[in-house]
Structure 1
Amino acid sequence: MNIRNIAIIAHVDHGKTTLVDKILHATKVFRENQATGELIMDNNDLERERGITIFSKNAAVTYKGVKINVIDTPGHADFGGEVERVLKMADGVLLLVDAFEGPMPQTRFVLQKALSLGLKPIVVINKVDKPNCRPEEVHDAVFDLFFHLDATEEQLDFPTYYGSGKHGWFNDSLTEIDNIEPLMDGIIKHVPPPSVQEGSLQLQITSLDYSSFLGRIAIGKVSRGVIKENQQVALVQADGSIRKTRVKELYVFEGMEKKKVAEVPAGDLCAVVGIEDFNIGDTIADAENPEALPVISVDEPTMNMTFGINNSPFFGRDGKFVTSRHLRERLLKETERNLALRVEETEGGESFLVYGRGILHLGVLIETMRREGYELTVGQPQVITKEIDGKKCEPYETLVVDVPEEFASKVIDLVTRRKGELLVMETKGEMQHLEFDIPARGLIGLRTQILTATTGEAVMAHRFSDYKPWKGPIPGRNNGVLISKNQGKTTAYSIDKLQDRGTFFVDPGEEVYAGQILAENVKPGDLVVNATEEKKLTNHRASGSDDATRIAPKTLMTLEECMEYIQHDECIEVTPNFIRMRKVILDETERNRQAKKMAAEA
């Protein structure tokens, strides 16, 4: 069959989406005069803003008469659920590695999944135009990684290509050329055509799309048989139940678009319209003889957060969707396509426990909901503990930090304070390469501290390693916060007088309410302040006493930074236009009562 299905996997920022751009341009998918821009596949606003891939995407190109289905995958381990399911559609993987950084934690994570599925790997060493790059050393490091991951003899005999995605060339040697043809030829030569079994129809749904005209669209690879338009099929669900249904329309991928077809043979990827109430992992099978494929298993989440309705005094001012019913419907809809996410209702029904892979995974969900017009409050992220052999265990992560030599001691100090253990310390060019074993709890809030200590020079990455015994208390935020005493608009006069007490998160003229966090205190312990007091005007003037107020600009915090900053008695109010940090209990008297009660119980 003249089809190749290939997934592009790599650590974040190693150039996957840029390589897909070059493949699309090299195979003349676009007209000569068509303006395409950069990072064509990252078409979601959030992806473009953050410069990362969040959702896996499909494209198809034709090269020398062979159709190549290309799957672009995310690099962050937080979105590993996306990678694990789409690898089922591929027959080979393009492992992209940075010629300077070499294999990184997420490279290991996604490669392990690909090798266990028996996919044929092609190694691409990218960015060989960077100063201080070391392609030969990186090649050896990749071989060692394959060996450690128990690759088969055949997988260890992988072909390697070198090049620069940015400058649009890849070759099987370090000789620079002006195209990526050697890599395209290598894909056709080394990636096997899809292995097709004899038998009736089987198609596993590994991804889904949505269209306002067609509704939910199931995407997957036809494992065997042929799927046809208007065909009567059986939908075999994860719980074993079987439902008869009909295929209305069929599409295959062509370039960046979908093309309508009458039938799709085994081995090709397709999009199926007309199937109702399906979930990822379900099998579309023959109506008379339905046989299910093994259900897709995804690694369990390691972190949870409480999502609740917005119960602040500014409730309903900003968003369109504000009730718990809206929240429940949106979260359940998200679990359909986001396999690594789980949602549980709490007793009152007003809030939900949402389980995810990490802060970024949950942060992207909250940011997406905010942009859709939802108002909600979210609590402090908590790690999920397990009991193994009678011991309380927690998730541990492998943390990798590349940092200039002069900052290495600061990084080691910060990580060890949070119960991290240094495993590896080696020099890579001008950088120190540090590897730690650290409880997942210790990572919350660590990124901001490390970036501050290293003046933004550190490069951090981490991945889940294992559940290990509980490490005891980990020190959290040292400083307290300044809390608003009343509701109203902040004034420059008040903020000016309070500036020596803390660093403010609000500017003069912003509306605040009682219980809202206004600033970080310079000392431990919380302080209730009045930031809405007006200056009393008199008809006396004195030179010197009427100096203009000099106010430092407010500290802007992203949603993820807020999630890492808050403590157990605090939460974040998220609306389409505002992100505010606040105390869970807004009333000061009630807060003090609760604090005394907890102290007495302790």
Structure 2
Amino acid sequence: MMEIRNIAIIAHVDHGKTTLVDKILHATKVFRDNQDTGELIMDSNDLERERGITIFSKNASVTYKDVKINVIDTPGHADFGGEVERVLKMADGVCLLVDAFEGPMPQTRFVLQKALQLNLKPIVIINKVDKPNCRPDEVHDAVFELFFNLDASEEQLDFPTFYGSGKNGWFNDSLTQIDNINPLLDGILKYVPAPKVNEGPVQMQITSLDYSSFLGRIAVGKVARGVLKENQPIALMQAGGVIKKSRVKELYVFEGMGKKRVTEVVAGDLCAVVGIEDFNIGDTIADAENPEALPVISVDEPTMNMLFSINNSPFYGKDGKFVTSRHLRDRLMKETEKNLALRVKEAEGGGDSFLVYGRGILHLGILIETMRREGYELTVGQPQVIVKDVDGVRSEPYESLVVDVPQEFASKVIDLVTRRKGEMHVMETKGEMQHLEFEIPSRGLIGLRTQMLTATTGEAVMAHRFIAYKPWKGQIPGRNNGVLIAKSTEKTTAYSIDKLQDRGTFFVDPGEEVYAGQIIAENIKPGDLIVNATEGKKLTNHRASGSDDASRIAPKTLMTLEECMEYIQQDECIEVTPNFIRMRKVILDENERSKVQKSMKTEAV
């Protein structure tokens, strides 16, 4: 029987996880020498390719010196922490990647903490040692300090360290540059323990799920005990003590980038099981005669929610395939099956709105973007943080925010964060950069990234992670400027936009269809303004000299979905369809809006 090693690759976002997996795949000859594989092979999803980030964890398997190594590539963003927590259950060791310049970052701390709690064997890899200003020795000390602060055991503190550059394809146990990553692969075989196998009837926890249009839903996990065979009758053990009888139809193990069908899988190996109906992540596949459940996977709670509703704008149904509340409900429920950190419940006052709870703006934004590409139409409201009562005190989520910025912009960053109720805890110089650490309410992060990039000419690198619930910090200032709202439903004209340009920055181009109540520009002043951007020029046979110059219109400001989510206020929402993202007022009719505003003012008095 072949020896097995299960490793997960964990790191802060952009520290080189997926690039390292590429190098492992190439070094172990998964591909032919002349095969064109491109880069970031594991980022197979369109959204991952566009954004350059990993969103879904993925498995690959390689063979090195007759040992099978199952590699799990994990996301680095805090918003996808639920994905990381879940898949670490399949690993016996972790490769912790740390950038040789940036050192440990907030997400490094988060993923390492989860790995240490599961008692996984860590291997530290200090990556990007070819970067200018890198400081591998200082970073090594910082990593040791991080392990110590996270209460690592004596054994975990005695971690092996490798240095290298994923991009240039070398890793070594010293800073001497070589031309391959074999020392690292040897280190994985030496330091990562073989899977612990207990005696007894079969047990496997479902930690991930796959989908195939031919085979349906596929359960993925690590066989913890016994042997799983094709056609074997099994008991599916679910939360709340529910036990369902089922049978394994087909079994697959991971090989290279794909899967290989087998007749049996021994304890310690990762596998994919076909033929089980109605399973959820966290369920246990157990022996049919003596079923025993494994502990359920617990995932940190969501910190933010948004209201998802059907699209009720005048352009309803023009663009998408799935537009009804039934479509929306089915899709959201399907998402909760595999997205553990997501919660969905029906909103008060009707079945066409749902409150969706997630880990952050990116987490919810990726869900909306995926649905939009699948042909859904929906409207989403302003992201709200989840407020709890902790010992009778109104509390809100707080995050640790880390910003690396050139020194000349440090004061601007501090000013921006403190205005949003952030408190600075650390300020130190790293090369030419200033390293700042803050504690800030999660509410304060909404809309902060865009402002910070503008204030620092795009130079700031910010990252954040959830710490804990703490007492409510009071009012945080929102958007300073009002918006310009379309007066009628028609196509915009260059003539009108030209006349209105000194009033604000436009989000629409001439010739675009708009509707009454749609937000078409940002006002240069506070307060909202209703404007007519659809008026055509009256043509007469009189010409005035000099007044008939061609319109000179600045191109529209393009806003991504996440930027729109951070931009809108309480009385606004976003209409999302396969081809358009439009911001609008929740109440489209101008008279209705003013009635509601008056009644709210009266209540406040």
TM-score, scaled to structure 2: 0.99
Q: How does 1:479-498 map to 2 (within 5 A)?
A: 479-498=481-500
Q: How does 1:329-340 map to 2 (within 5 A)?
A: 329-340=330-341
Matched residue SS, 1:413: helix
Cα distance between partner residues in 2 of 1:300 and 1:132: 38
**Structure 2 partner of 1:569:** 571
Cα distance between partner residues in 1 of 2:240 and 2:379: 34
**Structure 2 partner of 1:24:** 25
**Structure 1 partner of 2:323:** 322
**1:591 partnered with 2:586:** no
Deviation for aligned residue 1:542: 2.4
Any unmatched runs of 5+ in structure 2? Answer: none
**Structure 2 partner of 1:529:** 531
Structure 1 letter corresponding to 2:536 = E
Structure 1 residue ranges (4+ consecutive) displaced by more than 6 angstroms after TM superposition = none
**Structure 2 partner of 1:114:** 115
**Structure 2 partner of 1:415:** 417
**Structure 1 partner of 2:435:** 433
Matched residue SS, 2:260: strand
Deviation for aligned residue 1:31: 1.1
Cα distance between partner residues in 2 of 1:368 and 1:110: 25
**Structure 2 partner of 1:78:** 79
Matched residue SS, 2:546: coil
Matched residue SS, 1:221: strand
Cα distance between partner residues in 2 of 1:83 and 1:582: 36
Cα distance between partner residues in 1 of 2:255 and 2:236: 26
Cα distance between partner residues in 2 of 1:472 and 1:516: 31
Cα distance between partner residues in 2 of 1:46 and 1:588: 37
Cα distance between partner residues in 2 of 1:226 and 1:524: 67
Cα distance between partner residues in 2 of 1:107 and 1:519: 39
**1:555 partnered with 2:547:** no
Matched residue SS, 1:395: strand
**Structure 2 partner of 1:199:** 200
Q: How does 1:115-264 map to 2 (within 5 A)?
A: 115-264=116-265
**Structure 1 partner of 2:268:** 267
Deviation for aligned residue 1:543: 2.2
Deviation for aligned residue 1:28: 0.1
Deviation for aligned residue 1:517: 0.1
Matched residue SS, 1:239: helix
Deviation for aligned residue 1:264: 0.1
Cα distance between partner residues in 1 of 2:186 and 2:524: 62
Q: How big is each residue's C-alpha offset from its partner over 1:474-505, in whole Å with a ceiling of 9 and x where there is no partner? A: 00000000000000000000000000000000
Cα distance between partner residues in 1 of 2:35 and 2:13: 28
Cα distance between partner residues in 1 of 2:87 and 2:255: 18
Q: How big is each residue's C-alpha offset from its partner over 1:560-579, in whole Å with a ceiling of 9 and x where there is no partner? A: 00000000000000000000
**1:354 partnered with 2:356:** yes
Matched residue SS, 1:344: strand
Structure 2 letter corresponding to 1:188 = L
Cα distance between partner residues in 1 of 2:515 and 2:8: 50
Structure 2 letter corresponding to 1:367 = E
Q: How big is each residue's C-alpha offset from its partner over 1:12-69, in whole Å with a ceiling of 9 and x where there is no partner? A: 0000000000000000000122110000000000000000000000000000000000
**Structure 2 partner of 1:461:** 463
Cα distance between partner residues in 1 of 2:582 and 2:506: 12
Deviation for aligned residue 1:342: 0.1
Structure 1 letter corresponding to 2:570 = H
Deviation for aligned residue 1:534: 0.2
Cα distance between partner residues in 1 of 2:187 and 2:401: 34
Matched residue SS, 2:20: helix
Structure 2 letter corresponding to 1:514 = A
- Percent identity (aligned): 86
Deviation for aligned residue 1:389: 1.2
Cα distance between partner residues in 1 of 2:59 and 2:239: 24
**1:102 partnered with 2:100:** no
Structure 1 letter corresponding to 2:577 = T
The number of aligned residues is 602
Structure 2 letter corresponding to 1:72 = D
Structure 1 letter corresponding to 2:137 = E
Deviation for aligned residue 1:238: 1.3
Q: How big is each residue's C-alpha offset from its partner over 1:551-599, in whole Å with a ceiling of 9 and x where there is no partner? A: 0000000000000000000000000000000000000000000000000
Structure 2 letter corresponding to 1:392 = R
Cα distance between partner residues in 1 of 2:131 and 2:322: 48
Cα distance between partner residues in 2 of 1:594 and 1:141: 55
- Which of 404, 407, 426 aligns to 1:405? It is 407
Cα distance between partner residues in 2 of 1:60 and 1:502: 55
Cα distance between partner residues in 2 of 1:471 and 1:254: 51
Cα distance between partner residues in 1 of 2:42 and 2:308: 31
Matched residue SS, 2:240: coil
Cα distance between partner residues in 2 of 1:388 and 1:4: 43
Cα distance between partner residues in 1 of 2:83 and 2:136: 29
Cα distance between partner residues in 1 of 2:242 and 2:520: 53
Matched residue SS, 1:299: coil
Cα distance between partner residues in 1 of 2:164 and 2:74: 20
**Structure 1 partner of 2:474:** 472
Matched residue SS, 1:467: strand
**Structure 2 partner of 1:396:** 398
Q: How does 1:347-386 map to 2 (within 5 A)?
A: 347=348, 348-386=350-388
Structure 2 letter corresponding to 1:460 = M
Cα distance between partner residues in 1 of 2:392 and 2:309: 33
Structure 1 letter corresponding to 2:112 = L
Q: How big is each residue's C-alpha offset from its partner over 1:121-156, in whole Å with a ceiling of 9 and x where there is no partner? A: 000000000000000000000000000000000000
Structure 1 letter corresponding to 2:492 = T
Computed over aligned residues only, the root mean square deviation of the Cα atoms, in angstroms, reads 0.4
Cα distance between partner residues in 2 of 1:350 and 1:27: 52
Q: How big is each residue's C-alpha offset from its partner over 1:287-340, in whole Å with a ceiling of 9 and x where there is no partner? A: 000000000000000000000000000000000000000000000000000000
Q: How big is each residue's C-alpha offset from its partner over 1:341-377, in whole Å with a ceiling of 9 and x where there is no partner? A: 0000123011000000000000000000000000000
Structure 2 letter corresponding to 1:148 = N
Cα distance between partner residues in 2 of 1:563 and 1:497: 29
Structure 1 letter corresponding to 2:219 = A
**Structure 1 partner of 2:510:** 508
Q: How big is each residue's C-alpha offset from its partner over 1:175-205, in whole Å with a ceiling of 9 and x where there is no partner? A: 0000000000000000000000011000000
Cα distance between partner residues in 1 of 2:239 and 2:139: 42
Structure 2 letter corresponding to 1:208 = L
Cα distance between partner residues in 1 of 2:216 and 2:182: 39
Structure 2 letter corresponding to 1:217 = I
Structure 2 letter corresponding to 1:499 = Q
Q: How big is each residue's C-alpha offset from its partner over 1:154-186, in whole Å with a ceiling of 9 and x where there is no partner? A: 000000000000000000000000000000000
Cα distance between partner residues in 1 of 2:298 and 2:481: 42
**Structure 1 partner of 2:14:** 13
Q: How big is each residue's C-alpha offset from its partner over 1:395-415, in whole Å with a ceiling of 9 and x where there is no partner? A: 000000000000000000000
Cα distance between partner residues in 2 of 1:401 and 1:150: 26
Matched residue SS, 2:72: strand
Matched residue SS, 2:107: helix
Matched residue SS, 2:336: helix
